[in-house]
Structure 1
Amino acid sequence: MFRPVLCAVALCVAALPLRADDLLPRLEAAQSAIDARMLTVMGADPAGARWSPTRRAASACALRELERVKGRAAAQTYVRAVENGAVEAARLRRAPDFGGLAARIHSAAGLRLQQDIVPITRACGIGL
């Protein structure tokens, strides 16, 4: 009786990390738009902003970790905040404005630096 239920629960738990992965293409597209604008304004790639397989894997980890810790709605809210940030990035003209943009994205997503972003960075090697 309990064995089938435990197996079903184990399968559901094992599948959880994959849920956030469906948000990754949207996150990558929005973040790439922000990165492209940042590179245009700054003229270089000072933060290693271009997407690579390593960055994609770390970003997927960060998104999964956000979903694990704060829930699916938080991950969706974060991706929407980054998409909105991409629209705002198109209007930015100075390099320092991008730091403010990141802060506004995190704020719009309800993320706090010490409580949310730092632990995700430690777990995945990249923050949100």
Structure 2
Amino acid sequence: MGKLALCVAVVCLATQPLRADDLLPRLEAAQGAIDARMLTVMGADPAGARWSAARRAASGCALRELERMKGRAAAETYVRAVENGAAKAARLRAAADFGGLAARIHAAAGLRLQRDIVPITRACGVGL
């Protein structure tokens, strides 16, 4: 009976979504604001910043992978860093400044390229 209960518990836990899914709307809003500002600075239509279903799925995968690799606190910290970055993006005047903003967001979240971002990109097809 104990093995059966353990198997049921494992199956139930394995089918539950990771909690990072609840952070995705915040990430989408903040990243969308950054993308819209970048498009505006580049002279493009900011409406192009809207997320497609494919981008939403890939970004959700990346956020869940971050939570799996580094824990809930790391996923929350990353989303907060992107939200702070969205406020800073409003002041950027050149397209080249957005690369530096991305680097500062990753640094604020404690993410490193080879250790964190590359494995997430490989797993999900998109990085953070």
What TM-score do the two structures reach when normalised by structure 2?
Answer: 0.91
| Distance in 2 between residues matched to 1:11 and 1:72, nearest whole Å | 20
The residue aligned with 1:7 is 8
The answer to whether 1:74 aligns with 2:70 is no
Deviations 1:34-87 (A, max 9, x none): 011101101137xx8541111111000000100111111110000000000000
The residue aligned with 2:31 is 31
Deviation, structure 1 residue 7:
1.3
| Distance in 2 between residues matched to 1:18 and 1:110, nearest whole Å | 21
Please give the root-mean-square deviation of Cα atoms over the aligned residues, in Å.
1.4
The residue aligned with 1:100 is 100
The residue aligned with 1:65 is 65
Deviations 1:82-118 (A, max 9, x none): 0000000011111111000000000000000011001
**Any unmatched runs of 5+ in structure 1?**
none
| Distance in 2 between residues matched to 1:5 and 1:35, nearest whole Å | 45
One-letter identity of the residue aligned with 1:6: C
Worse-matched range after superposition: 62-71 or 17-26: 17-26
The residue aligned with 1:117 is 117
| Distance in 2 between residues matched to 1:110 and 1:126, nearest whole Å | 18
What TM-score do the two structures reach when normalised by structure 1?
Answer: 0.91
Worse-matched range after superposition: 103-112 or 36-45: 36-45
One-letter identity of the residue aligned with 1:118: V
